[in-house]
Copies of this chain bind each other. A is one copy, B any other.
Amino acid sequence: MMEDSAYIIDTLFTLFAMTLIIFMVPGFAMLEAGLVRTKNVTTVLTVNVMIYAVASMAFLLFGYSIAFGGFGSESMSKWAAFLFQMAFVGKVINIMSGGVSERVRLTPLAIFTVIMGGLIYPLIVNVSWGSDFLKDTFLDLSMYDLAGSTVIHSTGGWALLAAILIIGPRYKRYVNGKIRVIPASNIPLVVLGALLLWIGWFGFNGGSVGSISSKENADAVALTIMNTNTAGLAGAIITSILIWVKYKKQDITMILNGGLGGLVAITAGPDLYDIYTPILIGAIGGILVVFAVPFFDKLRLDDPVGALSVHLVNGIWGTLAVGIFASDGKDITLFGQIKGILVIGVFAFVVSYSVIYLINKFLPFRADDDDQLQGLDYEECGVESYPEFVRN
């Protein structure tokens, strides 16, 4: 293609991909609003809108420059390149905030959002996809992670683990050694949210190819979206089968989490596989979700939306999968993938833990037991989610 045409088409393509990712904002919001109890729905929705606003603004004001060394792109409009990266940043914090739903307070979370979106995440992007200011020193990450199994999903998952350790489980979630099941309050919203995330993933992974303006790139983008979808399908199907074999019933929230697990798992290398390998990668992703959800509950790590299982576990699995199925022995090696997982994992967990710990000293993240009992919507928001419906 002629140079100008490539610039124009890649700008259009990136704006299209960015828009799909923005559909993940209502996606996460609806998914989480459906999964929590009605007394916490307004708070969870406020958190989601706050994250989009605050993280994006922090990324505009300083995060993007930290990650990429300033605004600029030769191959497409630099504003489209910014928008695409900006669409990512909130997701990391969505993953973290979702898992501490029903007991996390808004103000400390907003402060953490500024630091994560403006500093921690940009530093991780810098060494993974960005200008990598540490490249000439000791840290040259050779990990392959196209759209962020590690950079986005594990990072969010590690921050969530740190947050759960500090904030603790929901009030009376674990009583007398037993796990109390807390049902989702609105299943249609769960399904709507998960499907919007699914569609957003096409933009997330497809757009991460970075260009569609050559035949090879057009094929890479289409293959990436196809493989992304296939892994999600496989994750949902295998989860459905496992659940049915065990309970003779279907559990739609688990099926959707299995599908999302498959999507996370494929995210590191959707452009690298043939069209059948994603079935295996996604299916393993679904299986991991099915076993990880009760496992984290056994560890008393209370995660109302299954984010540790979907994002942390499958973020790691997806990054490893690249080393297993797409290792070419040179640039991509299993060792390089493991190194990336460890370096970013340790950094994300230690820094997130420290920041949350510090903020927590001054502004406690955890709502006290009375507020949790009454529902966070009362104290944090003063706005009921469904004021006219009589509740059990």
Contacts and interface: CB of A to CB of B under 8 A. Distances in A.
Interface of A: 1-2, 4-5, 7-9, 11-13, 15-16, 19-20, 22-23, 25-26, 29-30, 33-34, 37-38, 41-42, 45-46, 48-50, 52-54, 56-57, 60, 71, 76-80, 82-83, 86, 106-107, 183-189, 191-192, 195-196, 198-199, 202, 206, 212-215, 217-219, 221-223, 225-226, 229-230, 233-234, 236-237, 240, 244, 247, 249-253, 255-256, 259, 275, 279, 379-392
A79 B186 contact: no
A388 B37 contact: yes
Nearest to A45: B191
A60 B275 contact: yes
Contact of A29 (B86, B191, B390): B191
Given A12-B218, A249-B381, A252-B46, A389 B387 contact: no
28 contacts: A4-B215, A8-B9, A12-B218, A15-B202, A19-B20, A25-B195, A26-B192, A30-B188, A30-B192, A41-B187, A49-B236, A49-B259, A56-B233, A57-B233, A57-B279, A77-B221, A78-B222, A79-B222, A79-B226, A79-B275, A183-B383, A185-B387, A185-B388, A250-B380, A251-B381, A253-B383, A389-B391, A390-B390
Nearest to A71: B275
A191 B52 CA distance: 12
A383 B244 CA distance: 13
A382 B57 CA distance: 42
Contacts of A60: 230, 233, 275
Contact of A212 (B12, B221, B240): B12
Given A12-B13, A222-B15, A251-B382, A233 B53 contact: yes
A379 B78 CA distance: 54
Contact of A218 (B8, B191, B383, B390): B8
B49 A255 contact: yes
A-B pairs, 3 with minimum CB distance: A79-B222, A77-B222, A80-B222
A267 to B, nearest CB: 17
A390 B391 CA distance: 6
A279 B250 CA distance: 44
Contacts of A86: 229
A225 B83 contact: yes
Contacts of A225: 15, 79, 83
